[in-house]
Amino acid sequence: MISLDTIDRQVLRALSEDATQSASALGRRFGLSQPAMWKRIRRLEEAGVLAGRRLKLDAEALGFGVTVFLGVKLGTKGRVSLEDFERAVRAIPEVQTVEHVLGLYDYRLRVVARDIADFERVLRRRIMTLPGVGDVEANVLLSEERRPGPLG
Amino acid sequence: MGEAIILDDVDRRLLRYFQSDPGASAADLAERAGLSGAAGWRRLERMREAGIIRGVEARIDWAALGYAVEVSLRIALDKGEARAFDTFLAAAREVPEVIEIQTFLGRVDVRLSVLARDMAHYQQIYRDRILALPHIADIEALMLVARVHHDEALPL
């Protein structure tokens, strides 16, 4: 397991806010040379800690006014294939994330829609017709914030 | 955020490429969208100024840092208390292992994503930090088994 010092943690935190910062800019900010900073970033990438990038878009400005989280329970009738469900759910463009979970539900889905009417269409035509789908619970997202996590 | 702007098909195409490859340069994206570098850059800049493009963030793989357990806690708050939401959220922000806080309209009021190194560590966080949060009426836990799909892309 990779061990992190204070500078590594600060760099991770800085990159999780803005991944486009260069090694020289980060080096200046945290008092390291460009090659030394580059080496640190490379090490974090190689250890898999820095696992890609994500574009942050304003969903609402792009016409997606509603985000809904669905808890989905698979039916118990017959044999339900997780693979079939997962393949079908991933193909729905409005489904942004699919998490396989343990507990009250089997899957947790993040779904975007233009408005509540559009969400209802996605729910009825796409989600309720998925293979094996049983109980579905919907919660409409009001706000969300990502925290820096245990980075000190 | 800047003023609302109207996007055309070319803007949407740029966003689609950018979304699927957030590490690409403006020149790369322009080329793929069939634009000159300068024209692509201008369009991206305009969408940045309007607040449509909010930036690019690095994704941290917490499992690679030794946090093998991720639990989603679905919480109902005691709404008899007028400031229940605000005091709960302020206290939840103080727990370092909480990486995501969402509020909802529905049966669930708040959801927290909580990281832990293992189940013993999770039990400790749950008892010492989570159960100590104010105004909790009910709590349900979903443990993450696998992220099947997580690009969070918008269907542009």
The domain made up of B62-143 has a fold known as: Alpha-Beta Plaits (3.30.70)
CATH number where A17 lies: 1.10.10.10
State the average pLDDT over residues B27-53.
95
Residue A67, min C-alpha distance to chain B (Å):
10
Nearest CA among B84, B148, B81, B76 for reference residue B112 = B76
Give pLDDT, residue B11. 95
CB–CB contact A56 B149 (8 Å): no
A62 pLDDT band, cuts 50/70/90, is very high
If DSSP codes are grouped into helix, strand and coil, which group holds residue A104? coil
Asked if the model's pLDDT at residue B48 lies above 70, the reply is yes
State the average pLDDT over residues A30-35.
96
B111, B142, B143, B147, best to mutate vs chain A, most A CBs in 10 Å: B142
Do B60 and A51 form a contact (C-beta atoms < 8 A)?
A: yes
pLDDT in tens, B61-108: 999 999 999 999 999 999 888 899 999 999 999 999 999 999 999 889
Residue B89, min C-alpha distance to chain A (Å):
10
CB–CB contact B99 A93 (8 Å): no
For residue A89, tell me if it sits in a domain.
Answer: yes
Do A49 and B60 form a contact (C-beta atoms < 8 A)?
A: yes
Q: What is the CATH number of domain B9-49?
A: 1.10.10.10
A3 touches chain B (CB under 8 A): no
Nearest CA among B121, B132, B137 for reference residue B70 = B121
CB–CB contact A89 B149 (8 Å): yes
For residue A145, tell me if it sits in a domain.
Answer: no
| b/e burial code for range B21-55 (CB count within 10 A of at least 16 → b) | ebebebeebbebbebeeeebbebbeebeebbbbee
Q: How many residues are present in chain B? A: 156
Q: How far apart are CA A110 and CA B49, in angstroms?
A: 28
Query: A78: domain range?
Result: 66-140
So where are chain B's domains? 9-49, 62-143
A79 touches chain B (CB under 8 A): no
B16, B114, B148, best to mutate vs chain A, most A CBs in 10 Å: B148
CB–CB contact B154 A98 (8 Å): no
Q: Of the candidates A86, A108, A141, which has its C-beta nearest B142's C-beta?
A: A108
pLDDT in tens, B15-29: 999 999 999 999 999
State the average pLDDT over residues A92-120.
96
pLDDT in tens, B109-138: 999 999 999 999 999 999 999 999 999 999
Do A44 and A13 form a contact (C-beta atoms < 8 A)?
A: no
Name the more confident of A99 and A1.
Answer: A99
For residue A149, tell me if it sits in a domain.
Answer: no
A116 touches chain B (CB under 8 A): no
A56 pLDDT band, cuts 50/70/90, is very high
Residue A3, min C-alpha distance to chain B (Å):
8
Asked if the model's pLDDT at residue A119 lies above 60, the reply is yes
State the average pLDDT over residues A29-38.
96
* Residues A83 and A120 occupy one common structural domain: yes
* Residues A72 and A135 occupy one common structural domain: yes
* Residues A42 and A82 occupy one common structural domain: no
* Residues A70 and A42 occupy one common structural domain: no
A78 pLDDT band, cuts 50/70/90, is low
Complex prediction ipTM? 0.90
Mean pLDDT across chain A: 94
Q: How far apart are CA A98 and CA B68, in angstroms?
A: 18
Give pLDDT, residue B1. 46
Do A61 and B52 form a contact (C-beta atoms < 8 A)?
A: yes
Residue A133, min C-alpha distance to chain B (Å):
16
* Residues A38 and A104 occupy one common structural domain: no
